A and B are shown apart, each in its own frame.
Chain A
Amino acid sequence: MEENTRSKQDLLLDVQNVSVVYDSADGEVYAVNDVSFTLRRGEILGLAGESGSGKSTLAYAIARLLRPPARVTGGRVLYYPRARAGENGNGRTDLPASGVDIFAFDKKELRAFRWSELAVVFQSAMNALNPVATFEAQMVDVMRAHRPEMSKEQQRARLVELARLVGIAPERLKSYPHELSGGMRQRAVIAIALALSPEIIIMDEPTTALDVVIQRDILTELMRLRRQLGFAVIFITHDLSLLLEVADEIIIMYAGRMVEKAGRKALYRHPLHPYTDGLLHSFPTLEGPLVRMSGIPGTPPDLREVPPGCVFHPRCSKAWERCLRERPILTSPPNVGIEDVAERRVACHLYGTDSRREQEPALSGQGGEV
């Protein structure tokens, strides 16, 4: 990513201080805490974290898909639509050219926004498709609901185009979901998401249920489609190794908080947060020397009673006295000779500018060879 592509024009989504709680019988569960980030046009942004890290909740909040007991308690999400009247001949929605707050949308605006501007690919393609409707019927459904002005012929032409786009033979359009393999179903779901050429696609573990070879096919396809159509993707997964291949930028979530944000290369070469470092050393590799790895000790915290100070400190081997009492905030790390430092954010006291631990320089032992 060159600097000049980061201009203001490219800004697509500006997520500001979003918090989400789940109301439960024994108190509020703080699922997402004060998360901010931006998404640029055509960017693939990875959201990585374990179950319970809040990555899906955050994405669903952006799509306004949360229902009680989940509740957005703060923040806003500004969406910057492209001025694209009359594009493709199908009348676009009349969203203003400056940023609009997705959280402030009324029902009608939300309807115009969803699917046309933002589509979601859910985790399990098996469950996301209607088992008693053909693939074709489900595609037509989307178009009828959002593009009522399209004629039957136009719909049909678009259907065939979409199927080709994702690598499904047009004769398979008449198939029911159970007649398609897992990989085909995932392609079908992606085709439906692409139906109205959205600007943003949220993908929630899109390949987790698939075999590696098929996963590779789908990812390659996704990268090709992104290049061809220019949509942006929020890619949610617990598999960091996958994001290191596909994402432009990666956000690491832990216990509902953003703990680190970096470009994929920088994240891989110089992880700053000890949790990121632990995650990077949690999966065996195919190459390199065979080493005994230790992973991350302990388990993620119960979100009803998160530890004081840094939420990660009970599992952190580098925790010191300050981590136990003071919650670190997400800031730029000091410039210590790592790449892309201006774009990076980390929430860790090891990188506090004022009170870094004197005995240990902040960057000693990065890369995990401690």
Chain B
Amino acid sequence: MSKQQEMARSQDLLALRTGQPVLAARDLRKDFPLHPVSLGGGKRVVQAVENASLALYAGQVTALVGESGSGKTTVARILAGMHAPTRGEINFEGKAVNIKSAREMKRYLRKVQYIFQDPFSSLNSVHSVRHHLSRPLRLHGHAHGAREIEEQSLALLERVNLTPARQFLDKYPHQLSGGQRQRVSIARALAVQPVVLLADEPVSMLDVSIRLDILNLLLKLKEEEGLAFLFITHDIASARYFAEETQVMYAGQMVEGGPSDQVIRQPKHPYTRLLCSAAPDPERSARLAELGEAGEAPGVPERGEPPSLVNPPAGCRFHPRCPHAMEVCRQSFPARTDFGGGHWVRCFLYSQGEEASHR
């Protein structure tokens, strides 16, 4: 019943990315004060993000994968202008972004929009769909007069496949299903006519049969309208499906990145390997079942949970859980090792230049 049409995708990010990135971040760092009002000068901070760099290109998706607390949402919020970075810089279309006033913020948000995870709380329940769509249209001056606003609102609803659009215009959020609400919030983001969409777990609150619909809608927007996407997810399989590039974050550090297929099918960093082995995969478990290991989920050697970011482990933050941890891992954060085609890892296992001498 499902159409199985192979998706062609280049495995070489460098070839894919010849032009200038739309939005780029370099060496972002974000510390959140632990006690915003603290007497006695307590300077304890949550070191949420360290040394994060990424670039978004028109018509392409970069996925940021990690567990809760990995800092992926913080990175997206910095890119959306919601938080100012402690250090590091952001460039939009080649120019440094430095938001100092509400007016600059509005100008920035006209280009960069955010889609929230939870469509049950990101729409205002006392306002209709019409209100949600007409407000950004009016505020950003894309439509004037009631008729134009209505026409454009209807067009937006059609773009996100909420049809017949007129029926949805005067509905309230409680009259819509989760998937329909998420479509409205996507339409609201599109109303501004952005060039970048930052999507923070846009499908994880939705039912399984609806998720793919929304992902396919986002794919369509990427392909037909050339939007640059940041796709935040904890589901590594949907990163493979949707994104050209995948970057993996652990405890605020970016540990691996590259073409999605390579990062996910030939993971280098021990943490990426752990993530991939932990993800449910029926194909793999069916194979295991055939081998006679029925009823047993594939085991994961590493135990434990991500560290506290108030006092994170020095060096590579994964070292306390890493089966391959060496002395050097406790002292400094490794530099990038490149594998070609845009695939890189930050791990001392690879820093001598020779590839994966361990198994």
Q: Which residues of A are in contact with B by a Cβ distance under 8 Å? A: 44, 50-51, 181-183, 211-217, 219-220, 223, 238-242, 244-246, 248, 264-265, 268-269, 274, 277-297, 299-300, 317-318, 365, 368-370
Asked whether A295 and B303 contact (CB < 8 A) given A212-B279, A216-B278, A284-B237, the answer is no
Name the CB-closest residue of A to B284.
A287
Q: Is the CB of A244 within 8 A of B1?
A: no
Query: Given contacts A217-B303, A282-B208, is CB(A293)–CB(B234) below 8 Å?
Result: no
B1, A281: Cβ atoms closer than 8 Å? yes
Check B34 for interface membership: any CB of A closer than 8 A: no
A286 and B284 contacting across the interface, CB-CB below 8 Å:
yes
CA distance A156 to B3 in the complex (A): 58
Q: Which of B25-33, B137-145, B291-299, B340-348 is the interface stretch?
A: B291-299
The residues of B with any CB-CB pair to A shorter than 8 Å are: 1-7, 9, 67-68, 177-180, 207-213, 215-216, 219, 234-238, 240-242, 261, 264-265, 274-286, 289, 294-297, 299-300, 303, 305
Provide the bound-state CA to CA distance between A293 and B265, in Å: 19
User: Taking A211-B68, A211-B234 as contacts, is the C-beta distance between A290 and B240 under 8 angstroms?
Assistant: yes
When chains A and B are docked, how far (Å) is the Cα of A237 from the Cα of B234?
18
A367 to chain B, nearest CB (A): 10
Residue pair A295, B209 in contact (C-beta under 8 Å): yes
Cα of A63 to Cα of B61 in the assembled complex, Å: 46
The chain B residue sitting closest to A269, CB to CB, is B286
Partner of A238 from the list B177, B208, B281 (CB cut-off 8 Å) is: B208
Q: Which residue of A lies closest to B209 (CB)?
A: A296
Contacts of B210 in A (CB 8 A): 50, 295, 299
Q: Nearest CB to that of A296 among chain B residues? A: B209
Asked if B283 and A223 sit within 8 Å, CB to CB, the answer is: no
* A213/B278 contact (C-beta < 8 A), A290-B240, A292-B7, A318-B1 known: yes
How many Å lie between the Cα of A365 and that of B237 in the bound state? 25
Given contacts A282-B212, A285-B283, A287-B283, 10 further A-B contacts (CB under 8 A): A51-B178, A279-B209, A284-B215, A284-B242, A287-B281, A290-B241, A290-B261, A291-B7, A293-B241, A299-B180
A277:B281 contact, CB within 8 angstroms:
no
Q: Is the CB of A50 within 8 A of B296?
A: no
* Interface residue from B208, B213, B261, B265 paired with A240 (Cβ < 8 Å): B208
Contacts of B279 in A (CB 8 A): 212, 286
Q: Which of B3, B6, B234 has the most CB of A within 10 A?
A: B3
Smallest CB separation, B108 vs chain A (Å)? 32
- Known A-B contacts A50-B207, A223-B296; A292 and B283 likewise in contact (beta carbons under 8 Å): no
Contacts of A219 in B (CB 8 A): 297
Q: Which residue of A lies closest to B180 (CB)?
A: A299
Q: Is the CB of A293 within 8 A of B281?
A: no
A111 smallest CB distance to B (angstroms): 33
Residue among A51, A220, A279, A293 with max Cβ neighbours from chain B (10 Å): A293
* Contact (Cβ within 8 A) B286 A294: no
Q: Which chain A residues lie closer than 8 Å to B296 at the CB level?
A: 223
Partner of B280, one of A182, A239, A289: A239
Closest residue on chain A to residue B321 by CB atoms: A213
> Closest residue of chain B to A290, judged by CB?
B7
Instruction: Determine the chain A residues whose CB is within 8 A of the CB of B276 once the complex forms.
Output: 286
Docked pose: A369 CA to B303 CA in angstroms: 39
- Are A295 and B278 within 8 A (Cβ)? no
Chain B residues, Cβ within 8 Å of A318: 1
Contact call B179/A299, Cβ cutoff below 8 A: yes
> For residue A244, which residues in chain B have a CB less than 8 angstroms away from its CB?
280, 282, 285-286
Minimum C-beta distance from A47 to chain B (A): 14
Question: Is the pair A295, B297 in contact by a Cβ cutoff of 8 Å?
Answer: no
Shortest Cβ distance from residue B302 to the other chain A in the assembled complex, whole angstroms: 8
With CB as the reference atom, state the residue of chain A lying closest to B280.
A241
How many Å from the CB of B133 to the closest CB on chain A? 21
List chain A residues, Cβ under 8 A from B277.
216
Is the CB–CB distance between B2 and A281 below 8 Å? yes
CA distance A212 to B1 in the complex (A): 29
10 closest cross-chain pairs (CB), A and B:
A295-B212, A284-B241, A216-B278, A281-B2, A211-B67, A241-B280, A244-B282, A296-B209, A50-B207, A245-B285
